[in-house]
Amino acid sequence: MLNYSQSEENYIKAIYHLQADGETVTTNALAQELLTRPASVTDMMKKLKTKKLLNYQPYQGFRLNNEGKKVALGIIRRHRLWEYFLSEKLKFGWDEVHEIAEELEHVSSKKLVDKLDEYLGFPKFDPHGDPIPDMNGKIENYQQVSLVDLPLNTLAEVCHVSNQSTEMLDLLKHKNISIGTRLEIKQKFHFDSSVEIKIRQQHLVTISEQLAKNIFVRYGA
Amino acid sequence: MLNYSQSEENYIKAIYHLQADGETVTTNALAQELLTRPASVTDMMKKLKTKKLLNYQPYQGFRLNNEGKKVALGIIRRHRLWEYFLSEKLKFGWDEVHEIAEELEHVSSKKLVDKLDEYLGFPKFDPHGDPIPDMNGKIENYQQVSLVDLPLNTLAEVCHVSNQSTEMLDLLKHKNISIGTRLEIKQKFHFDSSVEIKIRQQHLVTISEQLAKNIFVRYGA
DNA sequence: ATAATATTTTAGCCAAATCTAAAAAAATAT
DNA sequence: ATATTTTTTTAGATTTGGCTAAAATATTAT
Ligand SMILES: [Mn+2]
Ligand SMILES: [Mn+2]
Ligand SMILES: [Mn+2]
Ligand SMILES: [Mn+2]
């Protein structure tokens, strides 16, 4: 696997995100994403085309090919592993990790990244709930649903909370739930739609429908 | 504190090391150190002079001024903290950490570095036994003493042996001790004044008073 | 003191990554 | 179907950090 410049890597990653929905990526969209000028994008697209990372014909937009996607997944892997490290080990807040990971992701040692992965215990999701590609660039399939829609006895991981009020965060803290918490539903009570959950290595707790609606989890497909 | 490019930082750090003995640094010496050309060095020296990091008159060599030294110590701090992290947490070998730290040192977030320092437990020495500057750029003074006088549980680095006989060197080799070995004393036995030492990443070994007397170590004041 | 050698600087060129302004092409509106 | 507007590309410039070759300066040897 060749090495790419910091700038090339930032372009590759941005294209990957923009083309995720199957669309062709446009010059303007990419320029906006990277806070740069359309002319600069065109220049870089020519370069990445000669490096055989994407398909591009003038005026036709562009998409990463398989090689380009593989490179992108490597960068995303590094980015998310560092975010996890910053959040989990160094106790940075969710909002602070992205900017620093934006730099760390460009340190390219393969051995570093794989050892970091191991040290962190092969985490599956970054602090924002986004999946971390494994050594082979594979991202786990997952379903993302509100906790009220999680099937009984299905291990899932909290990946998102749709309400960030102090009150909600207080309650979550009290119930010992945060992003990354692994849990399963043991029982649903139809009277008030409350659910009884078992958090990994903790006791059973009951949470209200109100709260469950705002907790999002992912589980294996 | 301003931000400097990766290239500028590599020059600053190299000058710092070369001028350590009070000498004026020459164009050729720096070019050799950085595997670059003298002409490139001259260009960069002009730039660093306008940035007020060093004193430089054509043909006269150069030295970092106080501001330049402060910047250099920041880079060295990052470099050595990352080396410690790679060695201690990710279990890289001593010989592998430098190259990776050469990249990581350029990630400039002050908060990252200070949190990393805290996470690592404010280590005083990197895996090569070199001292790690603290948040204020301060490097601990060294004490150099015979191993028999090293306080318990104090990490130190072997810097000298006062007997160079084949017999002594044989014994040192057998005990896996050489210049640069980092160790601490775990126990002193008063019966025969032997000491039990823990060498970094190795098992405990016991050495005689006779041997300990002839081993000199340095440690943070 | 002068000549020979070594070091350092200057001059001029190059590649990467950016920019602005103008031209070209595509998309949209009349 | 044209005209207008938007998007994209091209042309040409700039900055950073590097290079080679030649000139300038300093050092060393005779
Ligand atoms: Mn980045
Ligand atoms: Mn993220
Ligand atoms: Mn470096
Ligand atoms: Mn070191």
Q: What is the pLDDT along chain B (221 residues), one digit of tens a residue?
A: 789 999 999 999 999 999 998 899 999 999 999 999 999 999 999 999 999 999 999 999 999 999 999 999 999 999 999 999 999 999 998 779 999 999 999 999 999 999 999 999 999 888 777 889 999 999 987 777 889 989 999 999 887 777 767 788 789 889 999 877 889 999 999 888 999 999 988 889 999 999 999 898 988 76
Decide if pLDDT at A215 tops 90: yes
CA atoms within 13 A on the CB side of B219: 18
Strand D proximal residues, B:55-94, Cβ < 7 Å: 59
Residues of B in contact with A91 (CB under 8 A): 115
Q: Whole-number Å distance, CA B59 to C1' C2?
A: 22
Query: Chain B interface residues facing chain A, Cβ-Cβ under 8 Å?
Result: 86, 89-92, 96, 99-100, 103-104, 107-109, 111-112, 115-116, 119
- End-to-end Cα separation, chain A, in angstroms: 31
Q: What chain B residue is nearest to A85 in terms of C-alpha separation?
A: B116
The most confident of A33-42, A118-127, A145-154, A177-186, by mean pLDDT: A33-42
Q: Which of A139, A129, A77, A131 is nearest to A108 (CA)?
A: A77
Contact in structure between A120 and A178 (CB atoms under 8 Å): no
**Residue B134 to residues A121, B73, B180, Cα–Cα distance (Å):** 30, 9, 21
Strand D nucleotides below 7 A of a protein CB? Answer: 7-12, 16-22, 25-26
For the domain spanning B6-64, the CATH number is 1.10.10.10
Render pLDDT for A152-180 as a digit per residue (tens, 0 to 9): 998 898 988 887 778 888 899 899 998 88
Average pLDDT score over residue span A171-198: 92
Q: Which fold has domain B145-219?
A: SH3 type barrels. (2.30.30)
User: Strand B142-146 relative to strand B215-220: parallel, antiparallel, unpaired?
Assistant: antiparallel
What's the gap in Å between A189 CA and the centre of ligand 1?
Answer: 47
Cα–Cα distance between B217 and B152 in angstroms, integer? 13
pLDDT > 90 fraction of chain A, expressed in percent and rounded? 75
Q: Residue B169's CB: how many other CB atoms inside 10 A? A: 13
Decide if pLDDT at A125 tops 90: no
Domain spans, chain B: 6-64, 145-219
Pairs from B202-208 (Cβ < 8 Å, separation ≥ 24): B202/B176, B205/B175, B205/B176, B207/B147, B207/B175
What is the model's pLDDT at position A221?
A: 63
Report which bound ligand comes closest to the CA of A106.
1
Residues of A in contact with B112 (CB under 8 A): 86, 90, 100
Render pLDDT for A46-74 as a digit per residue (tens, 0 to 9): 999 999 999 999 999 999 999 999 999 99
What is the model's pLDDT at position A140?
A: 83
* CA A108 and chain centroid, separation: 19
Strand C nucleotides below 7 A of a protein CB? Answer: 7-12, 16-22, 25-26
